[in-house]
Structure 1
Amino acid sequence: MKLKPILSALLLTAARLSASAQNTDSLELRKIYDEALVNGKAYESLHYLCKNIGQRISGSDNAQKAVEWGKKLMESYGFDKVYLQPIMVPHWVRGEKEQGFIINGKTRTPVALVALGMSVATPKEGITAEVIELHSLKELETLGADKIKGKIVFFNRPFDERFIEAGSAYGTAGDQRNLGPGAASKYGAVAVIVRSLTSALDNYPHTGATNYGTNTPIPAAALSTIAANKLSETIKAANGKPVQFFLKDNCQTLPDAPSFNVVGELTGTENPNQFITVGGHLDSWDLAEGAHDDGTGVMQSAEVLRIFKATGYRPKHTLRAVFFMNEENGGRGGKKYAELAAQNKEEHIAAIETDEGGFTPRGFSFQGASPEFLKQINANWRSLFAPYEADMLVAGGSGSDIGPLKGTQPSAVLIGFRPDSQRYFDIHHTPNDVFENVNKRELELGAASIASLVYLIDQHGLKF
C-alpha cells in the first residue's frame, strides 16, 4: 500500500475544503456588509433614541421610556423572542446646575464643571476652602491628614499622550475620578475636583461615576481641561499663598428604582441552548443624548440580529442582542444577566460588547487570549476582515457589562468591539455626546463587522 499518494490526496482535499469554506465565508460577509450599508436601520433608530427620548440615566423616566421603546423596536424586527429582565438600579439625580469659582484674593473666576455621578451635595451655601493640587492618589498618603484636612483636593493628572490607543490613557488617568474622592475623604478633605478625563483642550467638563467605597462621601466634581489648566496656573502664580475654590452642587441619591435589560433572540437551529451574545448599554449620563455612549452600541447590537433576519441567515446557535441597563453607575444590568445565565444553566460560547463609540471599526480584542489562540484566529479570519479594514484581532479587554459572565460562564470567550479611539474621549460623558456627532457610515460599518464576527463564531466556533 502506497501511503504517500494517499496522504497527498488527503492534504489536497483538505486544502480544497478549506478554500471552499473561506470562499463561502467571504460571500456571507459581503452579504452582511451590503445589507448594513444599503438597508441599515441603526442610524435612523439612533436618531429616534437620541432626539425623541434623550438622556437615559438609570432610574429616570427617560430610561424607562427607552426600555419600552427598545422592546418595541426588537419586536418590529421580527426576532424570535423579545423580553425584559427586571433589575433594581441606583437613582442618582444631579439637581440644579453646579457652580464653581477660583478665588484668588478678591478675584472670583467662574469655571466650567459638573458633579461626578454618585456625588453627594454640598451644603446649600456651597463650600469655600483652600485648594491643594495633586497628581496622584499616592500623594494623599505622602502629605497626610495634617496638610489635607479641611481643604479641597484638586487631582490634575492629564492623559498620558504617549498611548496610541486612547482607552489606555483613560484607564491610567481614571483612578482620580473613580477612587480619588473616597481616598481624599479618608484624609479629611471637604471636597474633590478632578481634571476631566480627556486629551481635548476645551470647556466641556466630563462627568462619570465615582466610588467612595466605605469612606465618608464628600462632594466631587470634574473641571473642564481649560478650567483645570487655569486653576493650576493660578496656584503656581500664587507662589505658596493660599488659593481658594468655591463649589456648589445639588446632587441627590434617591431609593433604588425598578428597571430592565432588554433582550432579543434568534433561536439556534442546531444548538438552541448555546448562546452568542452581543450587547451595549441603554443607560447614559444626563448631560446629553448618550449617542456614542452607548446609543451606538445598543443600535449596533440590535442591527446584528436584524441583518441576519433580513439576509435569511438562520444561526446554528441562539443569538442574543442585549440592551444592558445601569452600566454607567452600578453595572447591575451586566451582573443580573450573568446571574440569570447561571440560574438558567445557559452555555455561552461568546459575548461581544460594543461600548467604545460608533466610530470606524478597527477590529476586536479578546479578553485573556493566549498567543496560540490569537495566532489561530488571525490565521483563520484576519484575511476575511481585511477588505473591510476591521482586521485587528488582538488580546485586550472586552467590556464591563459582559465581564460578569466570566464568573458564571468560565468557558465563554469575552470580546470587545474596537473602533477607532482617537475622538471618543473628546465627547465621552459630556454635553457633546449628541446624535450629530455620529457618522452614519461608520456606525453601519461597525454593525456589519460585529455581525461578521458573530457569523464566523456561529459557523466555526472558537476552538481551533
Structure 2
Amino acid sequence: MMKKTIILSLLLLVSFTVFSQDKDAAYIRKIYDEALERGESYEMLRYLTKNIGGRLSGSPQAAAAVEWSRQQMLSYGFDTVYLQPVMVPHWVRGEVEIGRIVNSRKLGSKEIAVTSLGNAVGTGPGGTVAELVEVQDFQQLAELGEEKIKGKIVFFNRPMDAKLMDTFSAYSGASNQRGSGPTEAAKYGAIGVVVRSLSSFRDDVLHTGSTNYGLNVPKIPAVAITAKDADFLSDLLKDDPKLQFYFETHAQMLEDVLSYNVVGEIKGSTHPDEIIAVGGHLDSWDLSEGAHDDGAGCVQSIEVLRLFKALDYKPKRTVRAVMFMNEENGLRGGRKYAELAAKNGENHIAAMESDRGGFLPIGFGITGTQVEQDKLLSWAPLFEPYGLFQFKRGGGGADISPLRTQDVPTIGFIPDSQRYFKYHHTPIDNFEAVNQRELELGAASMAAVIYLIDQHGLR
C-alpha cells in the first residue's frame, strides 16, 4: 500500500509539473505576441532620445527625463508612481575640447580629436602641453617611476582584448586605465593623461566614461582619443620619443543637484509585500542620445509592466519598474534605492537590470544562493523557442548591486554584446542604432522571467 501511495504521489507531481510548464509556456507565448505585435518600447525610446536626448546627471535633460518617465508610467495606469529624491553630482564638459600633436618631426602640428573623461578636471584656457609617455598598465607606470613620469602626459594605450568572446570581460580588463589612470599617473608627477577609447573596434569614434580621483593626490586633466588615433600616436612615438601633445578642456564639477529615481509599480494581489524590481538607468552621457546606454533598459523595464497591464495579468507579488538616476558617474540612485529599501523594511525577492544595450536577447545571469540560481536555470527550456540559450550563474547590474547586501538575488538581462562597445559612451549611441524587433524581444524576455518569478518564486 505504501509503495502504491509513493508511486501515485510521484505521478501526480510529474503531472502537475508538466501542466505547470505547459501553462507557463502558453502564457510566455502571450507575452511575446503582445510585445511583438503591439509593443510600445520602441516609440518610448524614440521620444526619450529624440525629444530629450543625452541625460547627464544634474542636467536639464536629466530633469526632463525624470518627468517624462513619471508621466509615461502614470499614463499606463500603474497602481503607484512616485519619485525618490537623491542628490547627484553635476559635472559639465565645457564647450571647448582640443587635442594636438605639436612638434612631430614627420608631421609638425596635427589635430587629434579628444573628449574629456567624465568627472575630470579641465585644463582651462592655457591647456596642457608636455611630452607623451606611453604605458600599457599600472605596473609599467610604476616601473618608470617619478623620474620618467614627472611633468609628462601619460598615454594609456591598452586595448580591449579582442580574443575574448565576452566583450564585457574585455572591457573590464581594460577599464581601470580610464577609471583610475589619472590618479595613478598623478602619483608619479604626471600633469595630464590621454587614454585609448575603450572600444571593441579599431575605429575613429571617441568613447568617454568616468574617472575617479583618489584622495590626497592631485587632480589632473584627462581625455580619451579614438582607437585609430591611439595606434597612430603609438607609431609616432616609436620614431620620436620626445613627441609632445597639447590638449585643452574646460570640464568642471559643480555643486550637487537634487534629482530623482522614478518608481512605478503594480501591487501584488496575494503577496503585495514581496517585491520584484526591474530597471535601467535614466541618466546617460552627454555626447549622444543615450539609446543603448541606457535608454533601452529604461523603456524595456516600463514595457514589462505595460505588458502585464495589456494582458490583464494580476501579479501575485508587487512588480516594480525603477528608473535609476546617476549610474554613469556616481551610482547615487542605486545606492539610495537600496538605502530606502532597507530603511522601509522592504522585502525584495528579486531584482533585474537591463544595462547592456537593446540588442538581441540571448539569456540571463543570476547572482544568489544555489537554490535561486538553480531555479532560474531550470526555466531555460521555456526560452528555447525564442532563441535564448545563455542562462548562467553570476549576473546583475550596477544599480541593483547595492541590494546584494540585503541578500536580494540580482539578475542581469544578457543581449548579444558583440556590437555594444561600438556605441558605449560615444557620440553615435543614438536612436537609429537600436533595432526595433531586438528591443521588443528583450522586453518580452524580461517580462517572461519576471512572470515566472511571480508565479513560482526563486526559493
Shorter chain as denominator, the TM-score bin is: over 0.9
Match of 2:448 among 444, 449, 452: 452
Where do 1:173-252 residues align within 5 Å? 173-214=174-215, 215-238=217-240, 241-252=241-252
Tell whether 2:314 aligns with 1:305: no
Shift of 1:374: 4.1
User: Is 2:273 the partner of 1:277?
Assistant: no
Q: What is the CA–CA distance in structure 1 between the aligned matches of 2:303 and 2:401, rounded to whole Å? A: 22
Give the Cα–Cα distance (whole angstroms) in 2 for the partners of residues 396 and 5 of structure 1.
42
Contact 1:150 1:190 in 2 (8 A): yes
CA shift digits 1:212-231 (9 cap, x unpaired):
12122100111100110110
Question: RMSD value over aligned CA atoms?
Answer: 1.1
2:455 counterpart letter in structure 1 = Q
User: How many Å separate the matches in 2 of 1:374 and 1:80?
Assistant: 30
Shift of 1:23: 0.6
- Answering whether residue 162 of structure 2 is matched by residue 164 of structure 1, we say no
1:329: which partner in 2? 329
Aligned pair count reads 456
Deviations 1:155-186 (A, max 9, x none): 00001112111111001100000011111111
* Counterpart mapping for 1:367-446 below 5 A: 367-368=367-368, 370=370, 374-378=373-377, 380-407=378-405, 409-410=406-407, 412-446=408-442
Cα separation, 2, equivalents of 1:162 and 1:312? 46
* Residues in 2 aligned to 1:17 and 1:235: alpha-carbon distance in whole angstroms: 70
Does the CA-based 8 Å contact 2:293-2:424 persist in structure 1? yes
Farther-moved stretch of structure 1 (429-438 vs 388-397): 388-397
User: Gaps spanning 5+ residues in structure 2: where?
Assistant: none
Distance 1:268 1:247 in 2: 56
Cross-structure match for 1:85: 84
Deviates more, 1:81-90 or 1:98-107: 98-107
In 1, Cα distance between the equivalents of 2:43 and 2:63? Answer: 20
Shift of 1:97: 3.0
Contact 2:367 2:373 in 1 (8 A): no
The superposition leaves residues 321-373 of structure 1 with CA deviations (integer Å, 9 ceiling, x where unpaired) of 00000000000000000011011100100000100000000111112554x65
**Cα separation, 2, equivalents of 1:302 and 1:444:** 12
Q: Matches of 1:209 and 1:375 in 2, distance apart?
A: 35
Task: Give a deviation string over 1:76-104, Cα, whole Å, max 9, x none.
Answer: 01100000000110000001131111231
Identical counterparts, % of pairs: 54
Structure 2 residue 24 is matched with structure 1 residue 25: yes
Structure 1 residue 458, shift from structure 2 partner: 0.6
Amino acid at match of 1:448: A
Contact persistence 2:366–2:376 (CA under 8 A): no
Find the counterpart in structure 1 of residue 140 from structure 2: 139
- TM-score under structure 1 normalisation? 0.97
Q: Supply the distance in 1 between the matched residues of 2:160 and 2:376 (Cα, whole angstroms).
A: 32
- Mapped partners of 1:75, 1:375: distance in 2: 36
SS of 2:292's equivalent in the other structure is helix
- TM-score normalised to the size of structure 2? 0.98
Distance 2:338 2:116 in 1: 31
Quick one: which amino acid aligns to residue 291 of structure 1? A
**Shift, 1:397, TM fit:** 2.9
Q: Helix, strand or coil for the counterpart of 2:55?
A: coil
Unaligned regions of 5+ residues in structure 1, if any?
none
C-alpha separation between the residues in 2 aligned to 1:235 and 1:268? 63
AA paired with 1:441?
R
Whichever residue aligns with residue 254 of structure 1, its letter is L
Task: Output the amino acid matched with 2:442.
Answer: G
Matched, 1:124 2:122: no
TM-aligned CA deviation for residue 375 of structure 1: 4.4
Matches within 5 A, 1:356-375: 356-368=356-368, 370=370, 374-375=373-374
Q: 1:335 to 1:65 in 2, by over 3 A?
A: same
Shift of 1:3: 2.0
Contact preservation (8 Å) 1:112, 1:204: no
Which residue matches 1:314? 314
Q: Any conservation in 2 of the 1:374–1:393 contact (CA below 8 Å)?
A: no
